Amino acid sequence: MGGMDGKSVMITGASRGIGAAAARAFAEAGARVALLARTEDSIAEIAGEIGPDHAIAIPCDVSRYWEVETAVKATVGAFGRLDVLVGNAGIIDPIGHMGGLDPDAWGQAIDVNLKGVFHGMRAALPVMLEQGGGTVITVSSGAAHGPVEGWSAYCASKAGAAMLTRMLDKEYGPRGIRAMGLSPGTVATDMQREIRASGINPVSQLDWSEHIPPDWPAKALVWMCGPEAAAHAGQEISLRDEGIRATLGLSR
C-alpha cells in the first residue's frame, strides 16, 4: 500500500503489537514515522530497522501531557509537519472484579487509555489546524460498547476514548480534522496473553488461532488515512466487518 509519501505519522504505543506493525506499515507506504512508547529500547530497535531517514523513536508516557506535547514538537522538528496521529497506547490491567481492584491501578488505566488519547489530540491539534488539516485515529475496542467481566477500567476508558473521537469530529471536522476509530477485534499480541492468563471471561478462553495478526489492523490504519475512507469520518470502523475485510483484502 502506498499513498503516504511526504506524510508524517506519530504512533503511540509503538513498541509492540499493533503499534509496531503500524509503524512498519506506514513506513512501507512512504510515510515518515515517529514511534512513541515508554520502552525506549524497543522503539529504538524498530526505528533503526525502518531507517533513520524514515523513523524516529521518542520515549513518552502518554499519561503525562507535557511528554506528549514534547513528542509532537520533536516530530515536527524532525519531519516538518504532523499529518496523522494514531492513538494506540493502551493497557488492560487491572483485571478483576471491581470490589477487589486497587484504585490506583484502576486510575492508571484511565490515565493511559483515556487521558492519553486526549493528550495526543490536544497536543496535535494546534499543529494540524495550522497546516489546514490532519487525521486522528483512535484504536478502539468492542469493550468500548459493551461490558466485559473483569475489565471495568478497560471498558470505561475505551468507551470514553471512543466518545473523545466523536467529539473531535464534532468540534473540528469542519476545520479539516478527520477523526476516526478502529476496532480491531481480538489481535494476537502480548495483551491477549495477559487476558488469557487471567481466565476471568470468555475472551480469555479463546483459542489463539481465533486472534487476527497485528498486520491486519496496521493495514487498516494506513487505508483509513486515504481518500477511500473519507466517508467514515467521525465513525468507528470494525475489522469484524466482513465488508471492511474484503475491501482491505484481508482473509484467513
Active site residue 154: yes
The pLDDT of residue 206 = 55
- Kindly state the average pLDDT of the residues 12-16: 94
- Kindly state the average pLDDT of the residues 143-151: 88
The pLDDT of residue 3 = 83
The pLDDT of residue 141 = 86
The pLDDT of residue 189 = 59
Q: For the chain, what is the mean pLDDT?
A: 90
- Kindly state the average pLDDT of the residues 174-181: 96
The pLDDT of residue 225 = 95
pLDDT confidence of 187, banded at 50, 70, 90?
low
**Structurally, what CATH architecture does the domain formed by 8-234 represent?**
3-Layer(aba) Sandwich (3.40)
Listed in sequence order, the residues at least 6 apart from 209 whose beta carbon sits closer than 8 Å to its beta carbon are none
Report percent pLDDT > 70 for the chain: 88
Q: Which of 26, 79, 154, 172 is catalytic?
A: 154
The end-to-end CA distance of the chain, in Å, is 19
Measured from the Cβ of residue 172, the count of other Cβ atoms closer than 10 Å reads 19
Q: In Å, how far are 61, 137, 150, 179 from 232, measured between CA atoms?
A: 30, 11, 31, 9
The pLDDT of residue 243 = 87
The pLDDT of residue 198 = 62
SS3 category, 243: helix
The pLDDT of residue 202 = 60
User: How buried is residue 199: exposed, middle or buried, by Cβ count under 10 Å (0-12/13-18/19+)?
Assistant: exposed
The pLDDT of residue 249 = 86
